[in-house]
């Protein structure tokens, strides 16, 4: 083989191997959720406030896929929205009732189509019926404890135990006032979560939610890599506002008052 031909062959092999290693799908999800609002009692919410179907797709290469579409077998297709960075896409559609959701998105097989240059890769994905009966809710008078809470003190969140159909429990804390990154904690196998002092900010409105989910693996077919999931979730949310952190002078005055009262009781005795 001539040197020039040999060099060309090596270059072609490099280009082909680099191209085949580039398109790596990391994960994809198709799921549904029912969302509940807890009104401050220690009881489970009576009914969900809304329902949602959602789809997600992630790759490790921001230049590989130009778009992702959830193809509906009988209705209109749903293009996923590209997230900043070019490696993630997602979409969600909300409904006020279960019947509305199931009319628009009946349980069954759908197709996730990822557009890669001149070709489209189509992966079959499953949308399950809502088979999670356990509804999460907070217990231990959490709402009363959190409302007006001094954030310099620790607090423990408590919730009901999930049923056997639940694979994962997640606690979410998000500031509705801005200025603080959301917190998500995997609390699978737990019914309580201690929050250290200083986790929350003073005078801030928060959303606190507990999520029970069931995840079933969707084995890859057309996608050559990655992990798919068919997910069903129930999520319950409460909102609360923290209080002030007492000034040091106020704390000292309170301590002195307690000492004075104690001394007065001892003299009276």
Residue 200 has pLDDT above 70, yes or no: yes
Q: What angle do CA 70, 71, 77 make, to 5 degrees?
A: 90
pLDDT of residue 247: 76
pLDDT of residue 208: 96
The band of 20, judged by pLDDT with boundaries at 50, 70 and 90, is very low
Residue 44 has pLDDT above 50, yes or no: yes
Residue 228 has pLDDT above 50, yes or no: yes
Residue 5 has pLDDT above 80, yes or no: no
Tell me the per-residue pLDDT of 115-145, one tens digit each, with 9 for 90 and over. 988 899 999 999 999 999 999 999 988 888 9
Residue 259 has pLDDT above 70, yes or no: no
Would you list the domain boundaries of the chain? 23-246
Q: 248 or 62: which carries more pLDDT confidence?
A: 62
Residue 188 has pLDDT above 80, yes or no: yes
The structure's pTM equals 0.81
CATH code of the domain occupying 23-246: 2.60.40.10
Residue 52 has pLDDT above 50, yes or no: yes
């Amino acid at each position: 083989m001539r040197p020039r031909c040999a060099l060309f062959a090596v270059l072609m092999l490099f280009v082909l191997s680099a191209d085949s290693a580039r398109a790596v799908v990391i994960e994809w999800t198709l799921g549904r959720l029912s969302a509940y609002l807890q009104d401050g009692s220690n009881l489970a919410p009576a009914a969900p406030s809304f329902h949602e179907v959602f789809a997600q797709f992630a790759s490790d290469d921001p230049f590989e896929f130009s778009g992702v579409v959830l193809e509906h077998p009988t209705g209109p297709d749903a293009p996923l929205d590209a997230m900043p960075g070019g490696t993630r896409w997602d979409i969600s559609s909300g409904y006020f009732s279960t019947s509305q959701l199931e009319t628009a998105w009946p349980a069954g097989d759908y197709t996730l189509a990822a557009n890669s240059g001149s070709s489209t890769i189509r992966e079959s994905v499953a949308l399950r019926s809502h088979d999670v009966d356990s509804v999460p809710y907070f217990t231990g008078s959490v709402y009363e404890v959190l409302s007006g809470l001094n954030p310099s003190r620790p607090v423990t969140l408590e919730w009901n135990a999930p049923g056997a159909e639940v694979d994962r429990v997640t606690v979410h804390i998000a500031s509705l006032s801005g200025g603080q990154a959301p917190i998500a904690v995997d609390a699978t196998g737990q019914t309580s979560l201690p929050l250290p002092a200083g986790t929350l900010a003073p005078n801030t409105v928060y959303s606190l939610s507990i999520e029970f989910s069931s995840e079933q693996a969707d084995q890859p077919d057309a996608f050559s890599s990655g992990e798919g999931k068919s997910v069903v979730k129930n999520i319950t949310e409460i909102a609360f506002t923290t209080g002030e952190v007492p000034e040091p002078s106020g704390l000292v005055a309170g301590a002195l008052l307690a000492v004075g009262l104690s001394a007065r009781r001892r003299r009276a005795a």
